[in-house]
């Protein structure tokens, strides 16, 4: 082939094409045809480039429409979690809009793109890109007044349809300087070696069946078994009617239909007795005795009785034999480690619906978690209907393509241009009241978070739209009543998530009127649900540096010479004090993220300035080498109540292994699997400092930080721990559940039970033995129960090696089914061999030279496929 002639011919075709002369899209059909057939693809070239990570945006024009040379009337919009800039002149330019939204436009130097041709736009990213989930779906093109059109190949959750593979070290690793990325990409063989530890140990099937999850403080097993069938009866005290009803429903779902009766029926010999015993000391404590003809559950309070019945339910197998549940005879005396055992769920970034929230509450109850921290608001969405402020959900709960933001928020996080896109929606007041009631019946407190003053773009833009609407109606005073932004504010800042306009103006009285209105309506919803709002979470994290510096409203506030309000640095504590006082007057505790309660890395706000009985801090930022991993101790010592929420172990939006196909961010740790969550030691803060972000083993934490670490002087102020799920990369309910489960189970274990192996010098042998048992219970008993409840969960890919034509495979969750294929997935066979024995395969006869493997659940769900090296 003569490439020179071919290139000339292509250029002549470009020049003479009559369609190419029409610079503008003028018809919807024309735009739709282009977007449906053209293909947009993203690729990372290298994370090691000296100017920053470099990549390509490729546009393959597979349509019959020619893009004309010059500026044209079209723009392409993409979602990118990193801030992108164009790296070299190409006739196209990338412009950051807000958040993850970027716009690609043609310049006067654009050469055009004929049908059948491809162009490449090089970019530089603000940080590394190593995962498919770093790239968002639903890129689209707009032109003039025409409706936006999605690039069809990007309208998918199969990210490999528009993201090129990560095949080379410079694509898979985050950096080489100033230190190398020491986390290798997981392979079948590395997984096999890592899984060996959990697969060691002799754990009997009987031991798996009798372990209560989470582990009780004391359990003494006797001889014999107790056979429960539908002839048994539930007897209960009147105050435990709700708990007895719940137990009856759960037993029915398990296949045991028992009658229920208030009071103790002495004539009925075989019964489950549910009662509160005032002689049992300690909140949420219970005693469970399973005897031949009686199951006695006694709680120190209603919650204790509820947790006792959960322990009973924990022992009931997922499949009954002839309608009988055969249980061990056991005497249990148990109480929780912490009074705050929480799960944080962010549905503000991406909304996933009411039903998945109810499923989360149900599973939290099963594992004795008692606080659901709902992150209801964010830059990307407001997710709760507030009576009297319809704009919060009419605009703030919906993302679409509207640059004026009078109909919806700017599209973000892969939603695309249409309101029908992923992530949109909200809880109605009726939904929320239903959620509150459902949770209360399961002894779970819903803690609502309205994130301010940062992370508040959805509220700000909704109230700006309200302001403009009412102003146009001549209602000037009403328009300004709940305004959260100062139109004259010239402050300049850029947040970590690339926003420049997401800080509530804390110097305006209307901001506090807005918060009071929201708190009032929240209290009303709780009251309608028959419960009390106890704690309001204000957020307070990651306020953009530079916020309020150019605000006339703040200058006017400084001119009032109020105590401790002399400049911008005083505004965060001023805001928190105002909110705290408002909440105190409503008898509410104040909660916030750690950085919302601190001046800087080391200094907390003066706790004495807050009249609230409790001011609660979620401590999350513990990247050890950054010198902030001691904040939990600092805040507790200063008198704050602390919830351990550490990113290195308890952030479930992090990947479950180091691999490009794993979903999630990786800012605190490269990955966080079940074993890592299980090994977290909440009572020994510094003992959790195992590795740096780079993967370097930490041997001397003080030397790494370069200063002394404060000891915990007030351990009573560490009130609990909590898992976190942030949803930037989580667009569907299935994705959500696969990030949460089964990591929620080891979270519950550590929040409820203090293991004997924990401590500053942790006993690794006892920890490993405990994990070997726990992992088997999860795989063999609990995952089938999750499947039966309709809950999706993550299945770890198997580990495998082929040595001398013998395939050996194992799982991070021993007992999980493994399948293998010798023909690249055309057919699958069960892997049934044990650890020591393999399956004979002929390496030289394999299709593609590799064995394909996957894990499989009881309901037929499968993990992603892995191949032998």
Which residues are catalytic, by number?
Answer: 542
Signed CA dihedral, 639, 640, 641, 642: sign only: negative
Cα separation, 494 vs 546, in Å, equals: 8
3-state secondary structure (DSSP) of residue 74: strand
Residue 256 structure tokens? 């045991």
Cα separation, 358 vs 366, in Å, equals: 13
3-state secondary structure (DSSP) of residue 101: strand
Cis peptide before 860 (omega within 30 of 0): no
Cis peptide before 202 (omega within 30 of 0): no
Phi-psi map region of 764: left, alpha, beta (phi>0 left; psi -120 to 50 alpha): alpha
Only one residue has tokens 């809950």, namely 791
DSSP letter for each residue of 264-310 = --TT--SEEEEEE-TTS-STT-EEEEE-SSEEEEEESSHHHHHHHHH
Bridge partner residues of 58 (DSSP)? 41, 120
Signed CA dihedral, 196, 200, 204, 207: sign only: negative
342 and 720 Cβ atoms separated by less than 8 Å: yes
DSSP letter for each residue of 733-778 = HHHHHHHHTTTHHHHHHHHH---TT-STT--HHHHHHHHHHHHHHI
Q: How far is CA 674 from the centre of its chain?
A: 15
Among 813, 817, 831, 812, residue whose Cα is nearest residue 776: 813
**Helix H or strand E segment including 86:** strand 84-86
List, in order, residues 6 or more apart from 269 with CB less than 8 Å away. 293
For the chain, report the end-to-end CA distance as a whole number of angstroms: 38
Instruction: Compute the CA torsion angle 26, 32, 37, 43 (nearest 10 deg).
Output: 90
DSSP letter for each residue of 628-643 = -TTHHHHHHHTT-EEE
41 and 34 Cβ atoms separated by less than 8 Å: no
List the alpha helices (DSSP H) in 693-743: 701-705, 733-740
Cα separation, 218 vs 700, in Å, equals: 36
3-state secondary structure (DSSP) of residue 43: strand
List, in order, residues 6 or more apart from 238 with CB less than 8 Å away. 262, 263
Signed CA dihedral, 650, 656, 657, 660: sign only: negative
What CA–CA distances, in Å, run from 370 to 306, 342, 373, 442? 11, 6, 10, 8
Cα separation, 779 vs 675, in Å, equals: 13
117 and 174 Cβ atoms separated by less than 8 Å: no
CA atoms within 13 A on the CB side of 159: 23
Residue 196 structure tokens? 């060996």
What CA–CA distances, in Å, run from 312 to 101, 228, 274, 303, 370? 50, 11, 11, 14, 18
Length of the chain: 869
């Amino acid at each position: 082939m003569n490439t020179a002639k071919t290139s000339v011919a292509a250029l002549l075709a470009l020049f003479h094409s009559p369609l190419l002369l029409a610079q503008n899209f003028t018809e919807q059909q024309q735009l739709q045809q282009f977007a449906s057939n053209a293909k947009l693809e993203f690729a990372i070239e290298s994370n090691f480039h000296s100017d920053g990570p470099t990549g390509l945006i490729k546009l393959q024009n597979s349509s019959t429409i020619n893009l004309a040379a010059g500026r044209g009337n079209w723009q392409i919009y993409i979602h990118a979690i990193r801030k992108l800039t164009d790296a070299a002149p190409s006739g196209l330019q990338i412009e950051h809009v807000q958040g993850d939204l970027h716009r690609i436009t043609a310049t006067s130097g654009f050469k055009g793109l004929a049908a059948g041709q491809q162009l490449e736009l090089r970019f530089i990213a603000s940080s590394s890109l190593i995962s498919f989930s770093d790239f968002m779906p639903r890129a689209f093109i707009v032109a003039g007044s025409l409706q936006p059109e999605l690039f069809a190949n990007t309208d998918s959750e199969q990210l490999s349809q528009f993201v090129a593979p990560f095949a080379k070290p410079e694509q898979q690793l985050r950096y080489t300087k100033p230190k190398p990325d020491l986390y290798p990409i997981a392979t079948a063989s590395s997984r096999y070696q890592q899984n060996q530890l959990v697969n060691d140990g002799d754990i009997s099937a009987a031991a798996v069946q009798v372990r209560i999850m989470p582990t009780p403080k004391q359990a003494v097993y006797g001889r014999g078994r107790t056979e429960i069938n539908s002839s048994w009866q539930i007897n209960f005290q009147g105050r435990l009617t709700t708990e007895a009803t719940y137990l009856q429903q759960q037993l029915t779902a398990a296949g045991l239909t028992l009658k229920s009766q208030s009071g103790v029926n002495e004539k009925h010999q075989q019964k489950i007795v549910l009662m509160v015993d005032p002689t049992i000391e300690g909140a949420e404590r219970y005693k469970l005795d399973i005897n031949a003809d009686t199951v006695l559950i006694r709680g120190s309070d209603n919650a204790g009785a509820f947790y006792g019945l959960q322990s009973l339910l924990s022992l009931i197998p997922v499949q009954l034999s002839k309608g009988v549940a055969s249980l061990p005879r056991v005497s249990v005396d148990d109480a929780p480690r912490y009074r705050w055992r929480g799960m944080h769920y962010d549905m503000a970034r991406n909304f996933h619906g009411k039903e998945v929230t109810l499923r989360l509450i149900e599973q939290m109850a099963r594992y004795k978690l008692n606080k659901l921290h709902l992150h209801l608001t964010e830059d990307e969405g407001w997710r709760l209907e507030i009576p009297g402020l319809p704009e919060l959900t009419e605009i703030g709960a919906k993302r679409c393509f509207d640059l004026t933001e009078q109909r919806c928020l700017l599209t973000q996080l892969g939603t695309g241009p249409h309101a029908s896109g992923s992530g949109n929606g909200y809880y109605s007041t009726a939904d929320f009241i239903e959620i509150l009631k459902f949770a209360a019946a399961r002894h779970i407190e819903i803690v609502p978070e309205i994130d301010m003053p940062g992370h508040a773009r959805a509220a700000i833009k909704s109230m700006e739209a309200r302001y403009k609407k009412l102003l146009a109606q001549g209602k000037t005073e009403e328009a300004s009543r709940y305004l959260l932004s100062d139109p004259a504010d010239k402050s300049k800042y850029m947040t970590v998530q690339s926003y420049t306009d997401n800080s509530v103006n804390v110097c305006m009285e209307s901001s506090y009127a807005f918060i009071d209105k929201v708190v009032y309506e929240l209290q009303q919803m709780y009251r309608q649900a028959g419960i009390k709002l106890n704690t309001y979470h204000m957020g307070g994290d990651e306020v953009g540096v530079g916020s309020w510096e150019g605000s006339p409203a703040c200058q006017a506030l400084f001119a009032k010479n109020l105590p401790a309000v002399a400049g911008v640095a005083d505004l965060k504590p001023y805001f928190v004090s105002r909110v705290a006082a408002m909440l105190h007057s409503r008898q509410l505790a104040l909660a916030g993220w750690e950085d919302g309660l601190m001046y800087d890395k080391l200094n907390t706000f003066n706790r004495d300035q807050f009249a609230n009985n409790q001011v609660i801090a979620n401590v999350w930022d513990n990247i050890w080498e950054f010198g902030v991993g001691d904040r939990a101790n600092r805040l507790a010592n200063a008198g704050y109540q602390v919830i351990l929420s550490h990113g290195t172990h308890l952030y479930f939006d992090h990947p479950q292994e180091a691999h490009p196909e794993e979903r999630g961010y990786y800012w605190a740790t490269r990955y966080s699997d079940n074993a890592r969550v299980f090994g977290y030691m909440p009572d020994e803060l510094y003992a959790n400092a195992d590795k740096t972000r780079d993967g370097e083993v930490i041997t001397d934490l003080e030397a790494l930080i370069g200063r002394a670490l404060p000891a915990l002087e007030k351990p009573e102020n560490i009130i609990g721990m909590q898992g976190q799920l942030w949803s930037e990369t989580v667009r569907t309910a299935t994705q959500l559940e696969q990030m949460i489960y089964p990591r929620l189970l080891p979270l519950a274990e550590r929040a409820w039970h203090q293991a004997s192996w924990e401590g500053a010098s942790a006993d690794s042998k006892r920890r490993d033995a405990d994990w070997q048992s726990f992992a088997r219970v999860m795989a063999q008993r609990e995952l089938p129960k999750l499947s039966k409840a309709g809950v999706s969960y993550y299945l770890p890919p198997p580990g495998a090696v082929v040595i001398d034509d013998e395939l050996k495979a194992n799982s991070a969750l021993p007992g999980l089914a493994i399948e293998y294929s010798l023909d690249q997935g055309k057919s699958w066979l069960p892997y049934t061999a044990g650890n020591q024995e393999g399956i004979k395969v002929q390496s030289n006869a394999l299709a593609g030279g590799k064995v394909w493997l996957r894990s499989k659940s009881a309901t037929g769900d499968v993990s992603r496929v892995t191949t032998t090296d």
